[in-house]
Amino acid sequence: MSTHLSGKARTQFLAIKGGERYAYRRFGGGPGLLLLLLQHFTGTLDNWDPALTDALAEGRELILFDNAGIGRSSGSVPTTVAGMAKHAAAFLDGLGVDTCDVLGFSLGGMVAQQMVLDRPTVFRRLILVGTAPRGGEDIMHLEKPRLAKHLQDPSNKGYSVLQKIFFTLTPSGQAAGASFVERLAERKEDLDGVSGPEVADAQMAAFRDWERFTGERFADLRTIRHPTLVVNGVHDEMIPVVNSYRLVENLPNAVLLTYPDAGHGSLFQYHDSFAHQAAAFLSVTSESAVY
């Protein structure tokens, strides 16, 4: 497994005047539009699977981004998705990025939706993986026995808990999870470190807020005309696939792809397929999500 592009990418920092200093990594190249990657609950720059980011980086430049208070970004973690979206927009503005594509995974997919509502011209195409619309259901309830069992097991140290909660418990799911954890561990220096409980608490507050809605449920989605690819593992315990159903039923221009025998980490489990499908979707130049 060659993960040279991701592995060699050094962490950079962008200080916004009167604002925060954000950590990011920028690498890759090719004919595609710049792709911003927005990360999952408690995830840092180090939580992007290098097998996936290497494959994506072969066709376009990528930016991995630490939101405020995550990894080596300064500031405190917002307790709302809207607050996170403001930081990500400030980062793009500071970098001088006028337009890009975005891949938002889990919490990152919520931030992407909020950003496209706030600033529709910034994004061309959206990829939303293992995420939920505002007003979605059963979003990251880590107290559920199926998840709590693994999170409270002291033998699950470091990344190994991700093998249990991002992947199905079938032999094939766990084998894919073990490979994922090995790939994350390839990076030995220039690391972000692990997020602490203050990150988790603030992000969990944002999930609870995101479950609430006012007015007509999912009405915001109908205003997003951007071509969107929605991806979900069909057995996702963290953000169940029903949330992806609601996304494509209400987004006017969205294709859904679900993966079998996969949980929250479907994009990492099937990194070859996902990178191939994502590249095919991103390469379309029409206004349609269909690829």
Please report, as ranges, the residues that interact with a second copy according to CB under 8 A.
234-235, 241, 245, 248-249, 251-261, 270, 273, 288-291
- How is residue 67 annotated by DSSP? P
In the block, tokens 């949330």 appear at 243
Q: Is 57 helix (H, G, I), strand (E, B) or coil?
A: helix
- Beta bridge partners, 128, equal 104, 230
Minimum distance from residue 50 beta carbon to a second copy (Å):
20
Structure tokens at 112: 């992407």
| 145 CA to centre of own chain | 24
Cα(87)–Cα(38) distance, rounded to whole angstroms? 12
Residue 19 vs 291, nearer CB to a second copy: 291
User: What Rg value do the Cα atoms of the chain yield, rounded?
Assistant: 17
Residue 46 vs 236, nearer CB to a second copy: 236
- Beta bridge partners, 231, equal 129, 257
Minimum distance from residue 277 beta carbon to a second copy (Å):
8
Residue 110 vs 241, nearer CB to a second copy: 241
Minimum distance from residue 127 beta carbon to a second copy (Å):
15
Structure tokens at 205: 């507050």
Minimum distance from residue 228 beta carbon to a second copy (Å):
9
Cα(176)–Cα(162) distance, rounded to whole angstroms? 11
Minimum distance from residue 49 beta carbon to a second copy (Å):
16
Residue 140 vs 251, nearer CB to a second copy: 251
Residue 56 vs 257, nearer CB to a second copy: 257
What is the full DSSP assignment across 77-103? Answer: --SSHHHHHHHHHHHHHHHT---EEEE
Minimum distance from residue 242 beta carbon to a second copy (Å):
8
C-alpha torsion angle, residues 243, 160, 42, 220 (rounded to 10):
-10
Cα(100)–Cα(88) distance, rounded to whole angstroms? 13
Q: Which residues contact 33 (CB under 8 A, 6 or more apart)?
A: 60, 99, 100, 101, 124, 125, 282
Residue 41 vs 270, nearer CB to a second copy: 270
Cα(15)–Cα(17) distance, rounded to whole angstroms? 6
Residue 158 vs 252, nearer CB to a second copy: 252
Residue 93 vs 261, nearer CB to a second copy: 261
Minimum distance from residue 260 beta carbon to a second copy (Å):
5
Cα(72)–Cα(82) distance, rounded to whole angstroms? 21
Minimum distance from residue 226 beta carbon to a second copy (Å):
12
